[in-house]
Structure 1
Amino acid sequence: MDGETDESPEEQLAKQHRKEKKDLQAKIQSMKNAMTDEIAKLEADLNQKHEEELSLLNSTGDTKVNISVLNGVENLQMDDGEKEDVTQGRVTKAQKRREKKAAQEKERESRIAEAEVLNLQGVRHQEGLMLAQKLALQQLQIKEISSDGHCMYRAIEDQLPEIVMSVKDLRSRTAEHMRSHADDFLPFLTKPNTGDMYTREEFEHYCSEVEHTAAWGGQLELQALTQVLRLPIEVIQANSSAIKIGEEFDSDPITLVYMRHAYGLGEHYNSVERLKEPANAEDS
């Protein structure tokens, strides 16, 4: 029919989405392969360098050994106590110490390279890849937020459209709302050792920490913040569906990225920004 298609707009959009997902997965795999190849090359180059240095040291026939060439520094002299000759057919204690040190350094570099390769397959790396795929479907990418205990509030501050409110203000308003709506929050706060619900005094202490310290924020604080800001909040996670809070508000949501394995301490919130095209991307 003169080039027309029988596909509905929904089918065409679904096809486009499948292609974009496939292209993104191919790009991510290419990045992983490139990183693995680079790590392997660095390790191979270092191993070759160490072997060449040891070969040069062992093959010298001079009665005095100058090791400056090995280190790229001219006229490196040993201390008086280290002036032991390396003669033909005899390995001195000084040479043995140098060889042992070189072997230990080679082993250390090898362990570092192996750790980097394992990290590519580790939970933190996999979590990052899954989040990148989910965000790319919304034309978004992660915007890093410092890990200082205020990350959730900083991520929200980063996305407030036209509201000028600092992290201190957000914490203060959150605590104020929780205090004035204690019945909405107290049932969800229990003591970890006994499971008993917080007393009013313990709840006030909790709110005081929200307001005045770098205590981490969670779902209770997010529920309070949706009411304070009159905005919906969406939390995207790697291994589960997005959490949406404050859907009663008809506005574009603030989008947070929740990461379980981002840092040594574990949980962390990041902000988001519009997806940027690669710098070397060719015009289509």
Structure 2
Amino acid sequence: MMEELQARHRKETRELQARITQKKKSASKKTRKGVNDECDKLEHELRERHESEIASLLGDDIADGQLDDLVLDEPAEAQPHANGSAEDDTLKDDKGITIGVSHLSVEPKSDSESSQPSKKPSRQKARLARRAAEQEAIAAKAAEETSSLPNLREQERTSMLKQFAKYGLQEKEIRADGHCLYSAVADQMGALGLGLKPKITPTTSAENGGDMPAYRQVRAAAASYMSAHGDEFAPFLEDPLDEHIRKVRDTGEWGGQTELLALAKTYGVKINVLQGDGTIHAIEPDQGGGELEDGLWLAYYRHGFGLGEHYNSLRKAPVP
């Protein structure tokens, strides 16, 4: 758009220069002053119109002082004299008196300059470029700070491997979904030859066995125990007891400390939870260690899995 506007302005400027030249050539000594005044007025009006059109096109993006650079004047074409010569800056009237050509004339531009007028960046483009540079700087700084932070996932994994060796354990990875706690308990119970039927507060026949997946049976066992012993759990729950039990039994809601306690009690077995910092959280049933003194072993991760907290099953490593 700016190139088209400037091209039209150059054309109008050349046409006005030709008119002025013709007027001054035909002016007599008596009419010269009036012709000059008229020419000055025409020049002024044309320039004001050009400035107005450029400002209207650019709007707020036009910076102060840029109009003079964008209003492009063209030199008048040299007018041939009777002898066939041409002059760039002077003409003579019919008395032989030299008169000046309109001050619209400027130094001729090269073909490359006239065909490709310079474009100055607008304030809006400058703001966008500055904003992009600021965002890049912020991202670079964040990446630098992140690179200097400790790799918690790697640290946790290294610590876990040391603890596995210390206690003679090997890990079976459990699928990282909302059922990982219950799947890990089910895997432990199966590996140790213990059934999934609760020793205390049995589930209903529909919830116990059948085609129900093992982790669903463990969920049902935890839900049934919590339902039968609501007074033990209700003070520690964020949701109402009935709603919490429904989530344990019927959804993929993650399990935690309260569900582990319910499972330890209903299965009558100790559950050992090995954590990344090397501590072991032992959850005891009501009386001693139950059928299996050593109990079940689970690995609890805070950072090792993308979905968040996670439980894996731990089994005794074979003796070499």
Alignment TM-score, normalising by the size of structure 1 = 0.50
Alignment TM-score, normalising by the size of structure 2 = 0.44
Larger radius of gyration: 2
